């Protein structure tokens, strides 16, 4: 079975449910990560199940960006993984808010 790849997202195509203990993360990436699945996991929880999201082209306000969106995250610190063993960064998700992080230029984008 083949998995279909969704096309670009347009303005208003992502719904985020935010609350007192629930936030979200938008991970901005270079075009080289388009279509890649990027995993995150709670920091300080070895063996914790990782959550992944696909980097997609996002069109809004006449501009094109590439990002992965992680909705419905419990408030806390999360590790962004470059691969199975290498972390890119740690981000904090706050309840009721959308955290934003930009993939660092020092981390290769050609996974």
pLDDT digits (tens, 9 = 90+) for 37-61: 999 999 988 788 999 999 999 887 8
**Residue 107 has which token pair?**
């981390």
Please identify every stretch of the chain with a pLDDT value under 70, giving residue numbers as ranges: 1-13, 108-111
Sequence ranges of the domains in the chain = 16-101
Sign of CA dihedral 39, 35, 5, 96: positive
Q: pTM score, two decimals?
A: 0.84
Return the CATH class of domain 16-101. Answer: mainly beta
């Amino acid at each position: 079975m083949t998995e279909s790849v969704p096309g670009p997202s347009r303005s208003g195509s992502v719904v985020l449910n935010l609350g007192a203990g629930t936030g979200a993360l938008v991970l901005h990436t270079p075009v080289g990560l388009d279509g890649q699945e990027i995993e995150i996991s709670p920091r300080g929880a070895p063996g914790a199940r990782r959550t992944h999201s696909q980097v997609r082209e996002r069109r809004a306000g006449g501009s094109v960006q590439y990002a992965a969106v992680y909705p419905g995250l419990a408030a806390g610190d999360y590790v962004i993984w470059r691969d199975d063993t290498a972390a890119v960064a740690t981000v904090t998700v706050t309840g009721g808010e959308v955290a934003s992080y930009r993939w660092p230029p020092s981390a290769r984008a050609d996974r």
